[in-house]
Amino acid sequence: MVIIATDSAADFEMEELEKMDVAYLPMSVSFGEDHYLENISITKNEFFERLFVDENFPKTSQPSPADFEKLFSEAKKNGDEVVYIPLSLNLSGDYQTAMSMKEMTDYDGIYVLDSRTCTGGQRLLVEKAVKLRDEGKTGKEIFDFMNELKTRTEIYTVMDTLEYLYKNGRIANTAYYIAQLGHIKPIMHAGYSTEGKADIPSKHIGMNKAIKYIVERVQEENPDPDYPFYVMYTYDTTNAKKLQEKLEEAGFHVDGIIPVGATVGAHIGPNACAVAYIKK
């Protein structure tokens, strides 16, 4: 049997994972001394509602080594293969921990993918891996296919505010205050071309201009219609629905609007919107 596994940065709901038979390794999120497992002891909405009012800035951390040890050792015992699809190596230590635990397990049937993506992009990879598993592909065949597919996976995000990047030390206070005063909406891009890092290729005055930029990039990059096309949002759907409307006016079909949880949401903040798709 082939086990497809992922972490909570893929932003599935628990019932979706159960329906697809995907193993789940949750990230943890902490507000001061209060610790939660993402999507298990705190929902996406509960996280953002706490984010608005808590004086403690949230800290997120990767799944525990014990989670990996249990998954990998049970697979070895049963003779199963595991294809684990975490968020990008350059966004978290999750991949490195998984690789270390693979070495400790000493089992060749474990495949750990550096996805070079997160949230909706990661979701696209997991969904395709599940389809390949259901078609009878081996773990090695799925892993090899994912290594090619990740090179065509793209995410563009419009952040409504730089407040949360500022709070976690990712940008200087001068840049933050200039952006706030100028109503600047930065575009964040993550994909194979950025080595899975979060790059900021463009900034725009106002949400409408930022959304227009994303639509133009989608048009240039020509999404593959054989794969789903997702719009994502953090907490509030208002901007995501604007983005969906503009994409549909441009002739694109949006397959779903996906809520983003704590792992990514802690950095990009509420009211962000994004797209995730596979290029041709």
For tokens 């080594």, what's the residue?
65
Domain boundary among 151, 183, 200: 151
Give 196's pLDDT tier (boundaries 50, 70, 90). confident
58 found inside a domain: no
**Among 126, 110, 109, which residue's Cα sits nearest to residue 118?**
126
CA torsion angle 249 253 275 272 (round to 10) = 60
Element spanning 262, H or E: helix 262-268
Tokens of 64: 């525990």
DSSP secondary structure, 112-167, as one string: E---S--HHHHHHHHHHHHHHHHTT--HHHHHHHHHHHGGGEEEEEE-S-SHHHHH
Q: Report the 10 Å Cβ neighbour count for 175.
A: 16
Confidence of residue 194 (pLDDT cuts 50, 70, 90): confident
Q: State the pTM of this model.
A: 0.93
Number of domain units in the chain: 2
* Same domain membership, residue 134 and residue 159: no
pLDDT digits (tens, 9 = 90+) for 56-96: 889 999 999 999 999 999 999 999 999 999 999 988 889 99
Look at residue 268 and tell me if it is in a domain: yes
Residue 162, in any domain of the structure: yes
Each residue's pLDDT tens digit, 105-144:
999 999 999 999 999 999 999 999 999 999 999 999 999 9
Same domain, yes or no: 112 and 128: yes
Question: Tokens at residue 113, please?
Answer: 């993918």
176 and 138 in a common domain: no
Is the pLDDT score of 181 beyond 70? no
CATH number of the domain bearing residue 201: 3.30.1180.10
266 within a domain of the structure (yes/no) = yes
For residues 88 and 204, state if they share a domain: no
Counting runs of H as helices and runs of E as strands, what totals does the chain give? 11, 13
Residue 35, in any domain of the structure = no
Let me know if residue 70 belongs to a domain.
Answer: yes
Per DSSP, 224 falls in state: -
Per-residue pLDDT at 168: 56
3 state SS of 195: coil
Helices (H), 79-138: 94-105, 119-134
Measured N-to-C along each axis, helices 207-221 and 238-249 cross at an angle, to the nearest 10 degrees, of 40
Nearest-angstrom CA–CA distance, 250 and 20 = 32
Domain boundary among 109, 134, 151: 151
Could you tell me the residue range of the domain that residue 81 belongs to?
2-28+63-151
Inside any domain, residue 117 = yes
CA 19 and chain centroid, separation:
20
| pLDDT at residue 80, rounded to an integer | 98
- List all residues 6 or more positions away from 62 whose beta carbon is below 8 Å from its beta carbon: 7, 27, 92, 93, 94, 97
Same domain as 85, residue 74: yes
Residues 15 and 120 in one domain: yes
Residue type, 31: F
143-178 per-position pLDDT tens digit: 999 999 999 999 999 998 766 665 555 544 544 444
Mean of pLDDT values over 9-29: 96
